[in-house]
Structures are given as C-alpha cells and as structure tokens.
C-alpha cells in the first residue's frame, strides 16, 4: 500500500492543517511588541489584527458546510489551504497596521473553511469502528500547538525576525496542497442546500459593527460619535438579524438550541468565560516584554507555563466532573479562573520565578477545566436532530468569545493608560494590573450566569463518562 493510499494519510493531513492554524493563532501574541516597533505603533494597537482574524473565522464558519456541499471537499480544502498560506506570506510582508489587518482577515477566511471542511472530509471517509482513533489524531493539534507556540514564537523573534512566524507556513502549506490534491475525496454530499445570503449579511454586519465600537473605544483619541454610530448600527442590524434567524426555514444559524437551558448558559456564560481567559494569552506577552523588559524568547518560556497547566489539567477533567457535577464545577471554576487572573495582576519583575510559574500554571488549569466543562455540557442535552445547528452556533460563539477577549484586553489596557505617569514612555506594570483586574470581571459574570443551571445539568453525560 502506498503512503497516499494509507487510511491514516487523510487524518494526518487534516491534523497538520489544524496544527498550522492553531499554531498561527497562538504564536502571534509573543511577536506583537517586535511588530509594533517595526510599524511605529504601540503593541496594544495591533490587537485589531488579532481580533479581526478570530472574528473572520467565526463569521465564515457557517458557510463552510455549504461550500463543501456546493463545490466538493477537495476543491474547498485546497482553496482554503492556498488562501491561508498566501495570506500568511502577506502577513509577513506587511508594513503597517492596515496591510497586516487585511492579511489577517484573508487568513481567517482561509482558516474558517480549512478546519471544518477538513474535519468533514475525514468523518465521511472514516468507518465507524475507526472513528475514535481518527478523532484522537485530529485532537492533538489543539493540545500541542498552544504549548509549542509561545517559546517557538519567542525564539523566532529573538533569533531572526517576527516575519518568519508567518513565512514558515509557506513550505507547510505547499506540502499540504500537494497532498490534499491527491488524498482528499472529491465526492459531494448530494444536492447542496440554498445559502442564506440575507442572514449571513445581517449577522456579519451586526457583529462587525459591534467589534468596531469596541475597537474605537480603545483608541487614544476616541471619536464618541463614531463609537455611537457603530453601536447604533449593531443594535439596528441585530434586531432584523434575530427576526430573520427565527423565521427563515433554512437560516444560516439555527437558534433551536437556546430552548435548552444548559446550552443557552454555555452560550452566554461560556462566551463570557472565553472573553476572560481569551484576554490572558494576549496580555501576558505584553506584560513580560513591555512591562518587565524581557526579550521575546524569555517571555515565551514564561507563557509556556500557562499552557502546560492547561494541558496538565486535561487528564483530570472527567474525574472532577463525575465527582462534583457540571454546575458546581462551572461555578467554582469560573470564580477560581477570575481569582487566578486577578493574581496575575500582582506579578512584578521582583516576583520569584517559582511563584510566577505556579500562578501561570493555575491560570492555565482553570482555563482548561472551564473550557472542557463548557464544551461538554453544551451538547449534553441537545437532541440528535438539532446537533448540527447547535454545533455551528457553538463554534461561532467560541471564536467570538476569544475575539472579544483580545478586544477587551486591549480596551482595558488602553483605559488603564489614564494612570500612566507622564514620564513613562511605555505601558507600566501598574497598567497591566488594572487590565487584568477588569478582565477578571468577565469570569465573575460567567459564574453568576452558571448559577441558572439546574443542579443535575448534564448528569447523564457525566455518569457515562
């Protein structure tokens, strides 16, 4: 049997594409200070490029299934890998915030199609008895990429240039394209459904207007009229978008899952939790490099402790959920995550290294426990026929949460500049303390929302696990 015909080749190819996307999404935070110096900006100003990538991912996810049905998995997957790779090169060649943000938007568009279409191709090609083994292959990029990214990004920035963070995707992407053209199935899944273009336009416009309002509030010179206009546009578009989604028989997003309390809590409180923990990987490299004066590599090694705590908690999550139940775990973990983020606000250059590493590991562990609980509980009580629509909605809100986390972290840091001494040229550790404290409030709000869960929420799933 040739390598291309081996049954594991397709899962490994898709896993490699996942790894490239997950690595790209996490490695960039370590490079922001170096990029800001080249662009003549403050590091916090580059948050728009990070959040724009995440929001583009979220907005285009609902279109991925339709695209695979309409054009075929191979064609869409190859196009997505090609777009992502070329946009990575464009990111590395960018010379300012505008060109960088535009390249990140295009990169997000490629990523939005690459991951779900690749997963769909694997699921369709895999026999049921092999499904668990194959899904394990697809899971490892999400676990390993965040661990590798901080020190790898720091090393590349310190030893070479931040541009190589993006350029390394070129050979990986070209190899992926060559393999995808040979191993991804070409078959389409019957007649494609009609694409809900009006719903897509309404939802996308409302979300972009809301993001614009948040980003504008964080600028040095705030134009409150423009902020108000964006906020008003978000409200004006949000109402028709909701009405369309509720009434359209084939809406781009299915809202039926909100009738299930556990799902609705995971969407509301879960998004707030992601906002809180999503801001931390953005703020930490800035704290260590701008606030403490460390180089990118040492900063990346410190951030590594956060994701090692994340990874180390994974084997314990099932036992914890079985012992205490979803509601108690979610409430307690959201509060503990908020306290851990608040504790990070107390870090200073004089903090002993073991204490710093311990706090980072605890923050990572609470992040892991909370996200695992939310990801599991969200679908615990969803009917099988509603699973597809709920999955699309959940994946969208997941990316929105992390995107708003970056935006909130940047906004909090900009608001904290009010307390900056006139003699300081860059952000001070005190400003980061205020930013971490503000971000932690989102975790408290998530805990309060989780109190709405019934005591036995997800009990059947916990017992089966």
Q: How many CB atoms lie within 10 A of CB 460?
A: 11
Instruction: Determine the Cα–Cα distance for residues 326 and 49; give it in Å rounded to an integer.
Output: 35
pLDDT score at 258: 85
- Please check whether residues 179 and 41 belong to one and the same domain: yes
Q: Report whether pLDDT(265) > 70.
A: yes
Instruction: Determine the Cα–Cα distance for residues 465 and 461; give it in Å rounded to an integer.
Output: 6
- Please check whether residues 96 and 164 belong to one and the same domain: yes
- Please check whether residues 303 and 380 belong to one and the same domain: yes
Instruction: Determine the Cα–Cα distance for residues 90 and 82; give it in Å rounded to an integer.
Output: 12
Burial of 53 (0-12, 13-18, 19+ CB in 10 A): buried
- Please check whether residues 437 and 348 belong to one and the same domain: yes
Q: Report whether pLDDT(462) > 70.
A: no
pTM here? 0.83
Confidence of residue 302 (pLDDT cuts 50, 70, 90): very high
Q: Report whether pLDDT(451) > 70.
A: yes
What's the mean pLDDT when you consider all of the chain? 84
pLDDT in tens, 72-82: 888 888 999 99
- Please check whether residues 245 and 267 belong to one and the same domain: no
- Please check whether residues 338 and 202 belong to one and the same domain: no
Q: How many CB atoms lie within 10 A of CB 5?
A: 9
- Please check whether residues 290 and 397 belong to one and the same domain: yes
Confidence of residue 147 (pLDDT cuts 50, 70, 90): confident
pLDDT in tens, 400-422: 888 888 888 888 888 777 666 55
Q: Kindly state the tokens that stand for 127.
A: 């026999």
- Please check whether residues 356 and 458 belong to one and the same domain: yes
Average pLDDT value for residue range 182-195? 71
Q: Report whether pLDDT(135) > 90.
A: no
- Please check whether residues 355 and 401 belong to one and the same domain: yes
User: What is each CA distance from 399 to 111, 265, 402, in whole angstroms?
Assistant: 12, 17, 5
Q: Which is more confidently placed, 73 or 65?
A: 73
For residue 230, the enclosing domain spans: 196-251
Q: Which is more confidently placed, 322 or 141?
A: 322
Q: Which is more confidently placed, 188 or 97?
A: 97
pLDDT score at 189: 55
Average pLDDT value for residue range 145-153? 83
Residue where a domain stops, chosen among 192, 207, 225: 192
Average pLDDT value for residue range 446-454? 91
pLDDT in tens, 303-318: 889 988 988 888 888 8
Q: Report whether pLDDT(240) > 70.
A: yes
* Number of independent structural domains in the chain: 3
- Please check whether residues 244 and 384 belong to one and the same domain: no
- Please check whether residues 272 and 132 belong to one and the same domain: no
pLDDT score at 7: 61
pLDDT score at 47: 83
- Please check whether residues 180 and 202 belong to one and the same domain: no
Q: Report whether pLDDT(425) > 70.
A: no
Residue where a domain stops, chosen among 227, 251, 275: 251
CATH number for the domain harbouring residue 13: 1.20.1250.20
pLDDT score at 41: 87
Residue where a domain stops, chosen among 175, 192, 209: 192
Average pLDDT value for residue range 55-75? 81
pLDDT in tens, 97-124: 999 999 999 999 998 888 778 777 777 7
Instruction: Determine the Cα–Cα distance for residues 28 and 230; give it in Å rounded to an integer.
Output: 28
The C-alpha angle with vertex 44 and arms to 39 and 49, in degrees rounded to 5, equals 70
Confidence of residue 463 (pLDDT cuts 50, 70, 90): low
pLDDT score at 1: 47
């Amino acid at each position: 049997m040739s390598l291309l015909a081996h049954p594991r080749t397709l899962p490994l190819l898709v896993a490699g594409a996942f790894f490239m996307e997950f690595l790209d999404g996490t490695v960039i935070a370590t490079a922001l200070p170096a990029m800001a110096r080249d662009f003549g900006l403050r590091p916090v100003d580059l948050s728009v490029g990070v959040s724009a990538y995440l929001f583009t991912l979220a907005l285009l996810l609902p279109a991925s299934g339709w695209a695979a049905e309409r054009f075929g998995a191979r064609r869409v997957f190859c196009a997505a890998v090609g777009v992502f790779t070329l946009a990575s090169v464009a990111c590395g060649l960018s010379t300012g915030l505008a060109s960088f943000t535009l390249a990140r938007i295009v990169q997000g568009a490629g990523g939005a199609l690459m991951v779900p279409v690749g997963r769909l191709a694997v699921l369709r090609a895999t026999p049921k008895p092999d499904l668990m083994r194959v899904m394990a292959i697809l899971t490892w990029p999400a676990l390993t990429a965040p661990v590798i990214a901080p020190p790898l990004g720091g090393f590349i920035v310190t030893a070479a240039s931040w541009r190589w963070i993006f350029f390394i995707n070129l050979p990986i992407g070209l190899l992926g394209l060559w393999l995808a053209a040979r191993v991804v199935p070409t078959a389409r899944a019957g007649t494609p459904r009609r694409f809900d273009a009006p719903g897509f336009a309404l939802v996308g416009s409302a979300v972009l207007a809301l993001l614009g309002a948040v980003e504008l509030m964080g600028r040095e010179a705030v134009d409150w009229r423009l902020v108000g206009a964006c906020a008003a546009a978000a409200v004006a578009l949000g109402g028709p978008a909701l009405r369309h989604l509720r009434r359209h028989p084939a809406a781009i997003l299915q809202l039926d899952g909100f009738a299930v309390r556990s799902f609705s809590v995971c969407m509301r409180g879960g998004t707030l939790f992601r906002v809180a923990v999503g801001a931390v990987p953005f703020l930490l490299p800035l704290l260590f490099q701008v606030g403490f004066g460390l180089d990118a590599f040492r900063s990346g090694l410190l951030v590594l402790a956060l994701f090692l705590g994340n990874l180390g908690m994974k084997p314990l999550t099932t036992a914890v959920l079985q012992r205490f139940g979803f509601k108690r775990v979610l409430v307690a973990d959201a509060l503990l995550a908020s306290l851990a983020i608040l504790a990070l606000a107390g870090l200073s250059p004089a903090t002993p290294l073991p204490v710093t590493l311990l706090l980072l590991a605890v923050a990572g562990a609470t992040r892991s426990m909370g996200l695992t609980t939310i990801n599991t509980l969200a679908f615990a009580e969803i009917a099988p026929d509603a699973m597809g629509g709920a999955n699309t909605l959940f994946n969208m809100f997941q990316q929105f949460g992390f995107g708003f986390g970056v935006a909130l972290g940047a906004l909090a840091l900009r608001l904290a500049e009010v307390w900056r001494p006139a003699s300081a040229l860059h952000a001070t550790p005190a400003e980061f303390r205020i930013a971490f404290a503000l971000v932690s409030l989102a975790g408290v709000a998530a805990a309060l929302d989780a109190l709405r869960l019934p005591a036995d929420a997800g009990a059947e799933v916990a017992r089966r696990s």
